[in-house]
Amino acid sequence: MTAKGIEWLDGKLRILDQSRLPWEQIFIDLDNYHDVVLAIKEMRVRGAPAIGVAAAYGIALGASSIKTTNRNEFLAQLNQVMQTFAASRPTAVNLFEAIDRMKKAARGDDGAEIKRALVNEAKQIHRGETAATVKLSRLGAELVKDGFTVLTHCNAGALATAGYGTALGVIKAAKEQGKEVSVFATETRPLLQGARLTTWELMQEGIPVTLITDSMAGYFMHQKRIDCVLVGADRIAADGDVANKIGTYTLAVLAKESKVPFYVAAPTSTIDLSLSSGAGIPIEERDPEEVSHIQGVPIAPEGIRAANPAFDVTPHHYVSAIVTEKGIVREPYAEGLTKIVS
Ligand code: MRU
């Protein structure tokens, strides 16, 4: 079992610092919302569902520090806290869905009552995400046949979900069903979530994993060494377009060319029906230094210009199926996704 990535302990948020893995297992106790916002920005806690859960607890922490006894003033200050979270990372819709739920849960006659309601709602969001990832993993396991080699990108495991995992959850569930499954994990430049986190999680689960660089994926697909590609998602638009870690689109195109099924696993909290297509998904641009350096070590001439979009959008016609806790959806996605979300 992978160590708990997120835990609410004695009124504090304990996170496993994902930026230090796999070299060090450091738990950080966060007792104010500014530190939670920073942990999300610095990707100490990362992965769409985990960002949503951390933000929910962070909002509860923010509420706990509000002193005023005036109800309207309290709600105005709480709104400020929520705005700060909304500005932390733009692509994962789970963050905005969590903020929305916390906003609705902020009910009560006075501050003390609202504070209690917010802690309860954050716990509820956490429990809900955990349950959703367990369920979708069991459902999705039917796509992973005995003897399959699955290629995955980035990290969509327990760490990323504050639960069981999405793409890695499906793989774990297939193993629990007695199937022999092995994994190819792309390193996932620039921040190496595949090399650092996916391999770490799978090795702990006793699932055979081979690390490859991102640029090797086409080679192995062409060699027919990959039976399916399975990834998570940060936001899925109403038409089934999928935003996920940069490089996912490349894998989807390669998979189609190589006749390898391309599956996406995500809880329904990742589906954004307000966007008709992936064109409307905001793509986070991160510090170019993450590209020109690896773990702080320069890998290019000083002063080099670098680009760093953190996500890309895979058009739905490359996606063979989307696995959610409410069922496996295939084309036409617009119909299937609307049905399961509403
Ligand atoms: O920038 P990150 O590491 O937060 O990006 C994470 C991903 O792209 C994951 O694939 C996605 O959030 C799904 S996690 C279950």
DSSP state of 124: H
Q: Which pair of tokens denotes residue 170?
A: 């499906």
Ligand 1 binding pocket includes 193 (Cβ within 6 Å): yes
Ligand 1 binding pocket includes 310 (Cβ within 6 Å): yes
Q: How far apart are CA 291 and CA 340, in angstroms?
A: 38
Measured in residues, the chain has a length of: 342
The pLDDT of residue 4 is 84
Q: Taking the alpha carbons of 118, 124, 125, 130 in that order, is the dihedral positive or negative?
A: positive
List the catalytic residues: 234
Q: How many alpha carbons fall within 13 Å on the CB side of residue 121?
A: 25
Ligand 1 binding pocket includes 245 (Cβ within 6 Å): yes
Q: Which residues contact 329 (CB under 8 A, 6 or more apart)?
A: 240, 321, 322, 323, 336, 337, 340
Which of 234, 248, 272 to probe ligand 1 with, by most ligand atoms within 8 A of CB? Answer: 234
Q: How far apart are CA 33 and CA 154, in angstroms?
A: 27
Task: Sheet containing 6-9: give its strands across.
Answer: 6-9, 12-16, 27-30
Q: Which residues contact 75 (CB under 8 A, 6 or more apart)?
A: 106, 114
Ligand 1 binding pocket includes 135 (Cβ within 6 Å): no
The pLDDT of residue 2 is 57
Q: Which residues contact 72 (CB under 8 A, 6 or more apart)?
A: none
What's the CA-to-centroid distance between 121 and ligand 1, angstroms?
23
The pLDDT of residue 342 is 81
What's the CA-to-centroid distance between 65 and ligand 1, angstroms?
30
Q: How far apart are CA 251 and CA 232, in angstroms?
A: 13
Residue spans of the chain under pLDDT 50: none
pTM: 0.97
The pLDDT of residue 242 is 98
What's the CA-to-centroid distance between 48 and ligand 1, angstroms?
5
State the amino acid at position 121 in one-letter form. E
Ligand 1 binding pocket includes 160 (Cβ within 6 Å): yes
DSSP 168-222: HHHHHHHHHTT---EEEEE--TTTTHIIIIIHHHHHHHT--EEEE-GGGHHHHHH
How remote is the C-alpha of 30 from its chain's centroid? 20
User: What is the C-alpha radius of gyration for the chain, rounded to an integer number of angstroms?
Assistant: 20
What's the CA-to-centroid distance between 93 and ligand 1, angstroms?
11
Which of 2, 17, 95, 154 to probe ligand 1 with, by most ligand atoms within 8 A of CB? Answer: 154
Which protein residue has the closest C-alpha to ligand 1 atom 8? 245
What's the CA-to-centroid distance between 7 and ligand 1, angstroms?
19
Q: Which residues contact 248 (CB under 8 A, 6 or more apart)?
A: 153, 154, 231, 242, 311, 312, 314
Q: How far apart are CA 8 and CA 314, in angstroms?
A: 35
Query: Which uninterrupted H or E stretch holds 255?
Result: helix 248-257
The pLDDT of residue 69 is 86
For the segment 151-164, what is each residue's pLDDT rounded down to a tens digit?
999 999 999 999 99
Q: Which pair of tokens denotes residue 172?
A: 């774990």
Which of 2, 44, 244, 248 to probe ligand 1 with, by most ligand atoms within 8 A of CB? Answer: 244
